[in-house]
Chains A and B, each alone.
Chain A
């Protein structure tokens, strides 16, 4: 099993540009999560999906952020337009079932730098 795959691993962009982060969950996992990690705010849950349907997006910081899951094997997190304060490491994670019983499997993360 290849684990959760994220791309790109590093992204450097200028303020105002659109950024798209990609995630491929582990095959057979029904849940997909997007997190953001910064030194100041720690690990924040942005949004999660169950069977490709967004369940809770209350952590999405503002309308500049959007996430989609068009099928069970692919999800995107888009920031448009990007701002310097969006600089962070973005993690995707997947889980085979409800996290009350199952662990989450994290990808290696995408380090985003907005200049």
Chain B
């Protein structure tokens, strides 16, 4: 089946620290991969995406590279800020499937200390 596994939180870092949130996937077809972010009291919003192997998605200083050989899409940021505190969801969808659904991971809560 199709699934997403991401590291459990919460993750607590100091401001300006390096961030990695691990994400691995299982997919039967050709997945597109996403990172969504949910700030407190809000809905999810797309942070970045990659639609094929070796693509790198980037936005707001965050990056993730689609690694087909390791079935991974780890989220990284070189220097986190307090405003990055949120819940981060890794997700996949299948590009050639009749089922137009996104499969979300369980989410990783990130807290940044000033």
CB neighbors of B among A42-64 (8 A): 42-43, 45, 48, 50, 55-56
A108 close to B42 (CB less than 8 A): yes
Q: Given the complex, which residues of B lie within 8 Å of A56, measured CB to CB?
A: 99, 101
Cβ-defined partner of A103 (8 Å) among B42, B46, B94 = B46
Cβ-defined partner of B43 (8 Å) among A48, A55, A93 = A93
Nearest chain A residue, comparing its CB with the CB of B96: A100
Cβ-defined partner of B32 (8 Å) among A45, A91, A101, A109 = A101
Cβ-defined partner of A106 (8 Å) among B45, B51, B100, B101 = B45
A73 in the interface, Cβ–Cβ < 8 Å? Answer: no
A113 in the interface, Cβ–Cβ < 8 Å? Answer: no
A31 close to B107 (CB less than 8 A): no
A104 in the interface, Cβ–Cβ < 8 Å? Answer: yes
**Chain A interface residue bracket vs B:** 20 to 34
User: What's the minimum C-beta distance from B98 to chain A, rounded to whole angstroms?
Assistant: 9
Main secondary structure of the interface of A (DSSP, over half): strand
Number of interface residues of B (CB under 8 A): 23
Nearest chain A residue, comparing its CB with the CB of B99: A56
Tell me, in angstroms, the Cα distance from A102 to B112 when the chains sit together: 30
CB neighbors of A among B52-77 (8 A): none
Tell me, in angstroms, the Cα distance from A105 to B36 when the chains sit together: 10
A2 in the interface, Cβ–Cβ < 8 Å? Answer: no
Contact with A along B84-105 (1 / 0, CB 8 A): 0000010001111101111010
Cβ-defined partner of A99 (8 Å) among B41, B45, B102, B106 = B102
Q: Which residues of A contact B (CB under 8 A)?
A: 4, 31, 42-43, 45, 48, 50, 55-56, 91, 93, 95, 98-101, 103-109
Q: Which residues of B contact A (CB under 8 A)?
A: 32, 34, 41-46, 49, 51, 89, 93-97, 99-102, 104, 106-107
**Pairs across A and B, CB under 8 Å, 20 listed:** A42-B104, A42-B106, A42-B107, A43-B44, A48-B100, A91-B44, A95-B100, A98-B100, A99-B93, A99-B100, A99-B101, A100-B32, A100-B93, A101-B32, A101-B95, A103-B34, A104-B44, A106-B43, A108-B42, A109-B43
